[in-house]
Structure 1
Amino acid sequence: MSLPDDVAATTSQYLDLIDKALPGRVVGLYLTGSIPLDDYRPGRSDIDGVVVLAEPLKDLDPAREVHAQLPQEPAFDVTYLTAAELASPPDASKPVVFTLDGAFNEARNGGPVSPVLWSELARQSLAVRSTPDLVVHDDHQALVDFTRANLTSYWTPTIDQLDTATANRPDDAAMPDWALPWVVLGVPRLHALLATGNIVSKTAAGEHALEAFPEWTSLITRCLRHRAGHPMDFTAVDAKAAVLYGRKIITNALAL
């Protein structure tokens, strides 16, 4: 699979810079998310991935300086982990170094560490630099449990916030063009995982939703067109429909 031009340029620049800053320390670079799922959209998608380290980073400044030199778009969002960490179940209680929206971060715990990242890496990642004999722990039941918890801990309050934000707005009030596709294509990714066992892209999730929830075909189709790069306008009446849609999918998913 060939990389999109902007992804190839950014990953090549990153490896050149990091190898000079930390010689021999980065032994792998694997892309996750939209790129290996063939759903990368220039101008909309980030570059997600995992950097495999020979040993944990002690001095963060060299890596921080490397990321500061990378293009702001597409955002280069990676998590720094050792092969030993990846061979074990994800431990969200440990400190983790990662980038989010291109910004360098160190969290005392949590961050992007989850069964989703481990399973993505194990099942459907794309190696830019391969780590010899890499073994990634992939626990499907842990992935299912995390997905169920995410439906209630993240998506339920997110949809509640959307409901509150739009309840008293006129139906024709404009909505940010990214907000509804985030919900309409995001929630069914979790439903698809629980229904099929597979991690799917946002586009594939929308296609899954068209089959599973055809009563919202118009809204889903418009969000898919937005995902594909077509200009789309969304209003508060669409947001109110998305609230009902999201709650229906969550209820259905939790019953699977």
Structure 2
Amino acid sequence: MVEKLLLQCGDCGTLLKSAEKAEEHAKENWHTNFRESNEEFVYLLCKVCGKQCVCKTESVIHSRKSGHTEFYDRTAEVAEEAARRNRANIRQMLRVAIDRLDEADTSEAARRQQQQQQQLGLPSRPVLQEGQSSLPLAAKVEQMAECLRTIQQNSMDDAAKVMQAFNSLRMFVRNIATNPDEEKYRKIRISNTAFQARVGHLRGGIEFLEVCGFERTTGGEHLYMQRENVDFDVLYSAANVLNNAIGNA
């Protein structure tokens, strides 16, 4: 989205985001000629004196006053840095949200509702905001719950194996949710000894990961999740299902 500006100083061309910024600028520079502006932000750095100009008008005025005419255009670089910070903030927010799932203390009413559910106590539907479509995500949650029931039902005599599988699946989910750009977390070699011992040999284990967004590569050697297929709503729901299963296993 192109960022729009509120005010521009008619004396020096400086762009200002608010009336307060304009007032500060006026006090510092004794400039009083301001007008509304829709000019786009750019980040032009003068090659001679290093002055940063944040709009084309400001760079023109600077050239007129100083004679400096060459600028480094850092607009794309600065925009990418802002986008990177935004992605990092989103990952941090998700990390905090998932961590809180581990620490959440369910209410007495919630505990009574869980007792009425099946043996694993898995949620049958996610809690969604008003207006949000529930059908696609609810269907995935049902599939996840069924995968975990299958794991437990086929390992009734080994609770430790079930818990190890659930914890391993949660690790995969959390690693991707907190590091979506890291390919190493989105690629699993199916024949890996540790993976087979913990998840791969159990009916329902690989199926759970496929519901989360993993796909078998050509030849079936790996499970892989494309970066564009990382769905934070699905991952958050998977973490919720797994936390409930671990708490009730």
TM-score (normalised: structure 1): 0.25
**For the pair shown, which has the larger CA radius of gyration, 1 or 2?**
2
Please identify which structure carries the higher helix content: 2
TM-score (norm 2): 0.26
